[in-house]
Amino acid sequence: MPMDAREIEELIRAALPDASVTIRDLAGDGDHYAATVVSETFRGKSRVQQHQIVYQALKGQMGGQLHALALQTSAGPIAQQDATKGM
């Protein structure tokens, strides 16, 4: 049973409450999506670690029910006051 975009977004948000999540359905078959996830949790982590955090949020659906999720992750810009603090 394929997954729908809202379900993917909810799972990611549950694990990353601060995340901004955008999901694009690539094929309309519930199996091929692209997702962009921005979260402070990713700061300082490698790309592999960032993607693993998202895969864990999807509770084993990745590679099973969800065949393809083109993933782009980032920690986003450093928040303004943190930037000045670091001067």
Partner 1 sequence: MSARDQIASAIAENDVVLFMKGTPQFPQCGFSGQVVQILDYLGAPYKGVNVLASDEMRQGIKEFSNWPTIPQLYVKGEFVGGCDIIREMFQAGELQSHLKEAGVELKQTA
- Kindly list the residues in this chain that would bind partner 1 in the complex (CB under 8 A): 47-48, 51-52, 55, 60, 62-64, 68, 70-72
Output the smallest distance, CB 79 to partner 1, in A: 24
Output the smallest distance, CB 87 to partner 1, in A: 27
Say how far apart CA 45 and CA 1 lie, in whole Å.
Answer: 33
Of 46 and 80, nearer to partner 1 (C-beta) is: 46
Q: How is residue 87 annotated by DSSP?
A: -
Of 13 and 55, nearer to partner 1 (C-beta) is: 55
Say how far apart CA 12 and CA 54 lie, in whole Å.
Answer: 6
Tokens representing residue 12 in the block? 């990611």
Of 15 and 84, nearer to partner 1 (C-beta) is: 15
Output the smallest distance, CB 60 to partner 1, in A: 8
Say how far apart CA 65 and CA 81 lie, in whole Å.
Answer: 42
